[in-house]
Chain A
Amino acid sequence: MIEKAHILNEDDIDRVIRRISHEILERNKGPESLVFIGIQKRGVPLADRIAKNIEKFEGTEIKAGKLDITFYRDDIGQNIKPNARITDISFDIEGKNVILFDDVLYTGRTVRAAMDAIIDFGRPKSIQLVVLIDRGHRELPIRADYVGKNLPTSLNESVEVKLKETDGLDSVTVVEKG
């Protein structure tokens, strides 16, 4: 792996998160109907951070859950050893506006799987998608509602997102596959 470019540093990510927090509130006319679901594993801290922001702005606690999509993947059979993390959605999603979080939006398959999984829990009013990076190359008709940064990439590059909660620091870099 050859590191090619630093895309976002800690301050950049902070700013992006604040912006998206406001966008979510604006679009949904307040926090009342919202529940957050982070896709394991880096969608989870993103959801937590934005939930905390909104709590700060509005004084309302937002329920945030975790979702593991391993067994919903369409390539599960090819992936011999599943490594499932916790799914914890201990609230009702029926009629809610579900905000779904992931770090990178790429082919769209992860999001497809996540939507399948969410619908097993109930029928939300809507599902909206937050991603830190949209790197293009979609294979399914899926788009994000809130994007931290659009980042055109080539197929032999990969986007590496690190977050304090999972990796000890906040950064986004593009690396070339070796």
Chain B
Amino acid sequence: MLSKKSILDADSLSLEDIKLILSNVDSFLEISRRDVKKVPTLRGKTVINLFFEPSTRTKTSFEIAAKRLSADIINFSPSTSSLKKGESIIDTIKTILSMKVDLIVIRHSDSGTVKMVDRFVDIPVINAGDGKYQHPTQALLDLYTIKKRFGKFEGLKVAIVGDFLDSRVARSDMNLFEKMGMDVTIVSPTMFLPEDFSGMKVKHCIDDVIEDADIVYMLRMQFERQDRKFYPSVMEYNRFLTLNMDRLGKMKPGSIVMHPGPVNRGIEITDEVMDTSGELAEKIVIEEQVTFGVAVRMAILYLILG
């Protein structure tokens, strides 16, 4: 079993936990390929999908995962219900606990919130992304995607491209990637990096890594949330960080492109790359990530509740 019942961040997942989860995913992927994509394994268990921040992908992924295992899953998005009446997050959690659920999946826009909730409850909690802190299940599905393509982790060269500082995906990925022995380079401009990045492998332009990387991991860039961001423009981004056809063509054989979704076309990745067909299209594994996401979350739910 997992060393801890809750999955709060990538840091606290041991190497054994990660291997256990990854080794279980194949079986659950098999279920997703059946005509009847449902097994009774978690019948009678109740999972709550507590999403304080809007999300379609992750919420749906957990929902499908739970349903395929026959767990009852309740979607609760407090932003649209009682939180508007000034109910605090702790009150919401207390209400949910009194309904006797077996597991809480939480997403929140504030860093550290899932850790806080975990201290208040004695049932397992899964972090489905909190603020700029972490998104551990995304990192696990990213690992599984890499495992499927490469069959190993040790020595793979990964370039994580984009807004490193504000990305929960990057924080979780970097932790797990390094734990698995991968060689991680961050490709980011200064304003998306910590003030002191001397301890990290950093490049400022995607061209510096594109030919050598086994995995190019594109982070989502949000120009609309600019309260603490100082990046000049999309044009500037396109010049130094965007994955375009020219750059895709320079990638070495067998290398892949990943993205946590949803892609901002024309910012992180150009339309041409997204819509490309033929040999180069096989490099883009973004849809595989989504497919594997369900199986990875099934494995996690199974290992926690089974």
Contacts and interface: CB of A to CB of B under 8 A. Distances in A.
A and B touch in the complex (CB under 8 A): yes
Interface of A: 68, 70-72, 76-77, 80-90, 116-117, 120-121
Nearest to A118: B36
A81 B35 contact: no
Given A71-B40, A72-B40, A81 B23 contact: yes
A76 B36 contact: no
Given A71-B39, A72-B40, A116-B40, A87 B27 contact: no
Contacts of A88: 34
Nearest to B305: A77
A15 B225 CA distance: 75
Contacts of B99: none
A121 B302 CA distance: 23
A81 B27 CA distance: 9
A90 B33 CA distance: 12
A76 B35 contact: no
Nearest to A71: B39
Contacts of B75: none
Given A72-B40, A77-B306, A90-B35, A82 B27 contact: yes
Contacts of A83: 27
Given A81-B23, A82-B24, A82-B27, A87 B34 contact: yes
B23 A86 contact: no
A133 B163 CA distance: 63
Given A80-B1, A88-B34, A89-B35, 6 more contacts: A71-B27, A76-B306, A81-B24, A83-B27, A84-B30, A117-B36
Interface in B10-51: 20, 23-24, 26-28, 30-31, 34-36, 38-41
A72 B43 CA distance: 10
Nearest to A73: B41
Contacts of B303: 80
Interface centre among A71, A72, A82 (most CB of B within 10 A): A71
Contacts of A68: 30
Contacts of B27: 70-71, 82-84
B31 A121 contact: no
B41 A120 contact: no
6 smallest beta-carbon distances between A and B, as pairs: A71-B39, A84-B27, A77-B306, A71-B41, A82-B27, A84-B30
20 contacts: A71-B41, A71-B69, A72-B39, A72-B41, A76-B306, A80-B20, A80-B303, A81-B20, A82-B27, A83-B27, A84-B28, A84-B31, A87-B31, A87-B36, A88-B34, A90-B35, A116-B40, A120-B36, A121-B35, A121-B36
Nearest to B24: A81
Contacts of B302: 82
A121 B34 CA distance: 11
A146 B41 CA distance: 30
Contacts of A72: 39-41
A46 B34 CA distance: 22
Contacts of A117: 36, 39
B304 to A, nearest CB: 11
A104 to B, nearest CB: 23
A142 B39 CA distance: 22
Contacts of B38: 120
A92 B254 CA distance: 41
A150 B268 CA distance: 67
Interface in B241-259: none
